[in-house]
Structure 1
Amino acid sequence: MITRKTFFLGWLALALFSVLGMARADDLGSFLAHADAVNNFVYKTYNISPGKGYSLKVDLQTEIRTYKGKKDRSDFKIPYNSAFQKVHVRYARTVLPSGKVLSVRQNEIQDILDPATADSSIYSKARLRIINFPGVVVGSRIEVSFTIISDLPFWADESFRLSDPTLEKRVIVDIPVRSKSRLPLLCSKLDDPLVHFSKLEKAGSVIYEWTGKDLPKQVSEPQAPELQNEPFCLLLSRFASWQEVSEFFMDRLRVNKIKESFSLPNWAAKAEPDKIYEGLLDHLSVYPIDLFDTNIIPQTPAETLEKGYGSPLDLAILFYSILKRQGISSSLVLVNTQGVFVEQLASCFHPGLFNQVLVRCGDKFYAFVDKDLPPGVNEAGGNLGLDIGEGRLVKISSSTHNQNAMDLALTLTPQHQAFGQCSFAFYGLSTKDIRKQMRYVSGKELDIKICEILHHIDPTADLRGRLESKGLYELSQVVKLSLGFSLDTPLAYTAGRYFFPLPDCELLSRLGTYLPERHYGISFSQAQVEVLSVTLDLPTNLGPVRTPKASKGRIGPLSWEISSRLHNGKLSFYRR
């Protein structure tokens, strides 16, 4: 079993796995030697307005060192949200090795919808300003200066590990003395010996500055912690408490202005929240999109019902409104479903930590990002979320833990053939995945799926009967699949003994591929359990010689339990 919490704490102390060794900073020469490009400087200045907005000025110069660097860096992308941000490119140019300057023309600057939100383009405000640098060759420099003006209150994330090595990165936050803006947690998160902090008061402003020099690039590794949880990431916010953050969202989402004057559909007339949830997902379509990729303003419940579709936020507001209309107490909870461990950042008061909205009702948290999620199952279980009605962080639970279980029962004949039954049970988020795989398959596709299941048992297994399913076509908390099979040669024979191979532990195998030679720790966004149960009904002419050794224990977040026993001619094996 792999649990969520321990993986995140301390960015998973690498001492737990001696194969990792200790992370060490490379010297300047080594991290520049094989770089495809190098940022000579990155200067970012935030100017906080006396009101609620701010501006960000960025100056960047990157040296192209290889063909790959040329291919990857010739286009520069500026992400922004058109609902509350504006982008102004002051200049962009290529400086050739000869010193000749090629300025970017207006027709070489494009503005497009962020392709990552294309499936929900009806609600997307996420855009990319793309600068196509002309004449880029190895040895040239690209230079760009631009400004982003935002209407939202100030918060930001600043990583001091970028996609390329950086000779100097400087982040400045300029706050007018007369401003009511506050930055109470400027340095509480950053823990990087390569970055130095200073604070200066002059000319009616308080200026905070972080400067990092000779910064190695960020290394891409599977299951690495999200940037916000890394020690080289700085989180900034003008909010002084979670209550203030909640008030911002309550105002933006217009929670107190939601009108209940809409006709209650028949499927919503039932007072049980689970049934209302199932009816809502059955009758309405959802366009999955993150909160800050939208304008953060929901449709009215009446509008969502009339359209028959909405974003996850719209469906959450509708569900919340129906419960309120029915006199059922509930609240809106903001969560992170992208792997950021909020508990570690509980004192940062950072609105940008959250990307989805759940509805809390009783002890369940209802999610609206996917039509295949059972009531109360969500992607934030074990993390902290922000209850904007109460103005505080709360622990998110999922109504069912995430577990995959395989139960394999074999009856061996004296001729060493076998007849068996195999059952699979999927719980929690695993139900969503198996529904997507099996729910709408055609007859031929089902035959292929059955072959895959049989191959997972044994490549020579033949189907007996038909595949049975339970919970596949409704939003059940568990989905079960079972089938019968036969094996002509279930046991491998060598040196006078028969061997029965047990299926691998996929979780452990996957974890093993993540460990060697890592720079960072390991994080998993959800706890996961994998269970294997095998029963062999042995003929009288066979008996066990050796079985897997029983054991149980824990190493950090990884726990296990293995047992085996022989009783009345049946050999049982259990692994969790």
Structure 2
Amino acid sequence: YYALRTDLREISRAARRNALVSTDSGVKPDLRVQQHKATVTVTDAHSYSVRIEERSQVLTYAGKKDNAELKLSWNSSNPEPVLERATVTDKDGVRHEVGKDEINVLDADWVASAPRYAPSRTKVISLPKVEEGSLIDYAYTTTYRNLTAVSWSEIFASTDAVDADEVEIIAPASLPLHIDNRAGAKVTKEGDQQRITVKRRLLPIAREAGLAPAKTWAPQLSFTTVRDDAAYAEALRPVLAAKCQPDDAVKSKAAELVAGLQSDADKIVALRNFVAKNIRQAGPGWGEIPASELSGATPTLADGYGGAADRQLLFVALLRAAGYDATPALFATDELAVVTRRPSEALPQGYYTALGTRLRLADGPVDFAYLSQYADWRVNAADGDVVLPLDSGTPERVKSVANDSTTSYAIAINENGDATVDYTSEVRGEGATSFTSWASEVTPEDLSRYFQSLITGLSRDATPRGENVIEKGAVGKLGYGANVADFAVVQGDLAYFDLPGSVGEIFPGANESGRRLPYAVGSRHDSKAVWTVDLPKGWKLSGEPSSIDWDGPAGVGNVKLAVSSERRDDGGLRLTWTREVALKAAVISPEAFPALVELNRRMKATDTWRVLLERE
């Protein structure tokens, strides 16, 4: 009875508070969180637990859909999460408790195909009678053990209205914690314990496209037991040392694979391709299980399968067995996480996203963030990514082939407006690897349909001309030719046409100037497109063509569109449009955001890409 009275009282209070939400932030939330508390208990430098307690009210239908289930994920090398309670009080005051029939445990997708590993599971808790106005109350505890290091983070930002967001961290006083306190938390020491506490009220944030990482604009509280990259490498090194040492079976396989090969390139490719082709990828992702739970090279070779990390450990062992200087290495593949890391910031949680390999040769290192038989042997990681060789503990930048693309359209228009179009695209770096993979595995039927879709994309009346081009390797190349009837619309002394493949926004979602929170460009983008148009004799451009020379805010990069013309030997005019895009990961403030919107507007504008001609 007391619990029922409490629930009814909270529902009544929440109803009176709802008006404050739109008044304060102008954003209508789907959920009002009356209380959220995270209690983090650190046992030592390798284990901790997190207790989550939340009490919230559903405000909208979307809130009902998003909060009808509670999902708790864990790997069975750790204890199963403990659900203390889960209840729903409907708007009529009736209290419903979760029963056994409403709890299901599901295995991760990889479990059946990788029985060697401790399975990862998700406990799906279906909350009963969740409707608009319902009050949801739950508490659970998740425990993590045998970690290389303990890291945890809380960012105080939500699309929901949160009346009280509370964090309490309890750790041994003797355990050094590297704390990033940008949330106004209180740090105290009491006897043999240290405590970090904070409580905040959160207004709902707007749901905006391309939102920058919350750590760049919202209050954050985080801690880690490793100060920096070197400390993390030092902690991880002994955990993986024995797992990448070649035993007799690995040595025998390496000798078999490199037998008769003379060059380093041939030997390295043979070892890499063996793992890529013959060791099936199946198992947990990096960080899904403690590093100590990885199988290592020997079981991975014997069983013929392994997760991405274990396949890399086998590759390291094979390289060592063949006489090469190789070490496991961590890779930070999230460009935005790299550029937003502050100089004085301790190692952020999840900063390194993959375990790979650093191979040292006389003419420089070669990095392997992934293993693909389709990659050029020196292009196995993205140029510019951060790599942390575990033996040195010093982060470096990957030196590989830059990922870029070039496309060209060669268009020749006759007096009637009909045209021939020759299209060519080239990709380098990781783009070439992806292209080679696709071109090697696509069926002839699908390839034919793909080329047909490209040609009909020019015009429904377009027909193929000549042979299609597919070239695989360090530079991936694709090309086709087409005849296009009525490519240009001719009306007396005037004509017009649209440049193919040209219209499109540069910054996805940057369509409205009004913005509250920073926008993020998530990765590098380097591309060049060239349109060469041969006009029939006696025709010229009408008016001044659009040109763009745009330098973006916050060093995000630049976009250029230039138009030039020249006379051909036969007296006709040749026009050339060149578009160059060079962007990098960056965070754009709301104040600078309109510059992106304006560029998108110009790049999508009809007059930018529609070409008007007149007779000379």
Partner residue in 1 for 2:8: none
Partner residue in 1 for 2:577: 573
Q: Distance in 2 between matches of 1:468 and 1:166?
A: 57
Identity fraction in percent:
18
Partner residue in 2 for 1:365: 367
Q: Which amino acid aligns with 2:155?
A: S
Q: Distance in 1 between matches of 2:512 and 2:440?
A: 35
Q: Distance in 2 between matches of 1:469 and 1:395?
A: 32
Secondary structure of 2:350 counterpart: helix
Q: Which moved more, 1:326-335 or 1:526-535?
A: 326-335
Q: Which amino acid aligns with 2:237?
A: M
Relative contact order: is structure 1 or structure 2 higher (C-alpha 8 Å, sep ≥ 6)? 1
Q: CA 1:437/1:452 → structure 2, altered by over 3 Å: closer, same or farther?
A: farther
Q: CA 1:176/1:389 → structure 2, altered by over 3 Å: closer, same or farther?
A: same
Secondary structure of 1:69 counterpart: helix
Give the one of 484, 496, 501 matched to 1:499: 496
Give the one of 148, 152, 155 matched to 2:151: 155
Q: CA 1:415/1:89 → structure 2, altered by over 3 Å: closer, same or farther?
A: closer
Partner residue in 1 for 2:418: 417
Asked if 2 retains the 8 angstrom alpha-carbon contact of 1:250 and 1:256, the reply is no
Q: Distance in 1 between matches of 2:511 and 2:257?
A: 46
Partner residue in 1 for 2:73: 79
Q: CA 1:113/1:160 → structure 2, altered by over 3 Å: closer, same or farther?
A: farther
Shift of 1:480: 0.4
Q: Which amino acid aligns with 2:224?
A: S
Q: CA 1:415/1:562 → structure 2, altered by over 3 Å: closer, same or farther?
A: same
Secondary structure of 1:161 counterpart: coil
Asked if 1 retains the 8 angstrom alpha-carbon contact of 2:28 and 2:204, the reply is no
Length-normalised TM-score, structure 2: 0.78
* Structure 2 unaligned blocks of 5 or more: 1-19, 581-616
Q: Distance in 2 between matches of 1:154 and 1:223?
A: 30
Partner residue in 1 for 2:403: 402
Shift of 1:507: 6.3
Partner residue in 1 for 2:428: 427
Q: Distance in 2 between matches of 1:548 and 1:512?
A: 27
Give the one of 476, 482, 485 matched to 1:485: 482
Partner residue in 2 for 1:561: 560
Q: Distance in 2 between matches of 1:110 and 1:477?
A: 48
Asked if 2 retains the 8 angstrom alpha-carbon contact of 1:63 and 1:139, the reply is yes
Give the one of 166, 190, 199 matched to 2:187: 199
Q: CA 1:160/1:494 → structure 2, altered by over 3 Å: closer, same or farther?
A: farther
Partner residue in 2 for 1:468: 469
Partner residue in 2 for 1:308: 304
Partner residue in 2 for 1:389: 391
Q: CA 1:33/1:393 → structure 2, altered by over 3 Å: closer, same or farther?
A: closer
Q: Which amino acid aligns with 1:559?
A: N
Partner residue in 1 for 2:12: none
Q: Distance in 1 between matches of 2:113 and 2:372?
A: 13
Shift of 1:469: 0.6
Partner residue in 2 for 1:241: 228
Map 1:4-83 onto structure 2 (within 5 A). 29-31=23-25, 34-50=28-44, 52-83=46-77
Asked if 2 retains the 8 angstrom alpha-carbon contact of 1:286 and 1:371, the reply is no
Asked if 1 retains the 8 angstrom alpha-carbon contact of 2:370 and 2:381, the reply is no
Shift of 1:216: 2.7
Q: Which amino acid aligns with 1:145?
A: A
Partner residue in 2 for 1:208: 196
Shift of 1:202: 2.2
Partner residue in 2 for 1:5: none
Q: Which moved more, 1:265-274 or 1:57-66?
A: 265-274
Shift of 1:524: 3.5
Shift of 1:68: 3.1
Q: CA 1:217/1:298 → structure 2, altered by over 3 Å: closer, same or farther?
A: same
* Structure 1 unaligned blocks of 5 or more: 1-25
Shift of 1:415: 4.3
Map 1:221-300 onto structure 2 (within 5 A). 221-254=208-241, 258-261=245-248, 262=250, 263-265=252-254, 266-269=256-259, 270=261, 271-272=264-265, 273-274=268-269, 276-287=271-282, 290-296=285-291, 297-300=293-296
Q: Distance in 2 between matches of 1:232 and 1:505?
A: 41
Q: Which moved more, 1:143-152 or 1:100-109?
A: 100-109
Per-residue deviation, residues 316-348 of structure 1 (Å, max 9, x unmatched): 112222222233223332123355513433632
Q: CA 1:279/1:133 → structure 2, altered by over 3 Å: closer, same or farther?
A: closer
Q: CA 1:371/1:110 → structure 2, altered by over 3 Å: closer, same or farther?
A: farther
Q: CA 1:494/1:120 → structure 2, altered by over 3 Å: closer, same or farther?
A: farther
Partner residue in 2 for 1:526: 523
Asked if 2 retains the 8 angstrom alpha-carbon contact of 1:267 and 1:280, the reply is no
Q: Distance in 2 between matches of 1:513 and 1:350?
A: 29
Q: Which moved more, 1:450-459 or 1:508-517?
A: 508-517
Asked if 1 retains the 8 angstrom alpha-carbon contact of 2:275 and 2:371, the reply is no
Q: CA 1:348/1:43 → structure 2, altered by over 3 Å: closer, same or farther?
A: same
Map 1:540-555 onto structure 2 (within 5 A). 540-546=537-543, 548-555=545-552
Give the one of 179, 183, 202 matched to 2:177: 183
Q: Distance in 2 between matches of 1:551 and 1:135?
A: 57
Shift of 1:408: 1.4
Q: Distance in 2 between matches of 1:316 and 1:305?
A: 11
Shift of 1:39: 1.0
Shift of 1:448: 1.9
Q: CA 1:32/1:534 → structure 2, altered by over 3 Å: closer, same or farther?
A: closer
Give the one of 159, 165, 181 matched to 1:169: 165
Shift of 1:145: 1.4
Per-residue deviation, residues 199-223 of structure 1 (Å, max 9, x unmatched): 222243221112211x134544443
Q: Distance in 1 between matches of 2:454 and 2:286?
A: 38
